[in-house]
């Protein structure tokens, strides 16, 4: 039962973190890659606080994260070039 309580708390934390990152993206508080890096670090440190487990999670998900990072960087470059043309 204790593990289930921890999991449900993390679901709500992750939901609120995702929501706050979406708000930060819409308000353009920082560049997209910076917001995603900050969100990644916060989520990783909360969901996997032990460093040995954190390393394993990064290794397991690195192949899936690279295309997402490239997509975010590409979208940021596209957005910058679009905004530059409007000026």
Q: Does pLDDT of 1 surpass 60?
A: no
Q: How confident is the model at residue 7 (pLDDT cuts 50, 70, 90)?
A: low
Domain residues for the domain of 19 are: 2-86
3 state SS of 49: coil
| pLDDT per residue as tens digits for the range 57-76 | 778 877 887 788 788 778 87
Percent of the chain with pLDDT over 90: 26
Residue 58 · residue 48 · CB < 8 Å: no
According to DSSP, residue 1 is labeled -
The number of distinct structural domains making up the chain is 1
Helices (H), 28-86: 32-47, 51-86
Q: Kindly state the helix (H) or strand (E) to which residue 24 belongs, with its residue range.
A: helix 2-27
Residue 54 · residue 18 · CB < 8 Å: no
Lookup: tokens for 46: 């909360």
pTM: 0.64
Q: Which residue has the higher pLDDT, 54 or 47?
A: 47
């Amino acid at each position: 039962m204790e593990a289930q309580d921890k999991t449900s708390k993390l679901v709500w934390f992750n939901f609120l973190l995702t929501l706050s990152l979406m708000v930060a993206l819409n308000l353009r508080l920082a560049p997209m890659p910076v917001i995603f890096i900050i969100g990644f670090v916060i989520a990783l440190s909360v969901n996997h606080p032990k460093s040995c487990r954190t390393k394993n999670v990064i290794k397991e998900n690195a192949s899936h994260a690279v295309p997402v990072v490239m997509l975010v960087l590409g979208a940021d470059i596209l957005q910058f070039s679009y905004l530059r043309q409007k000026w």
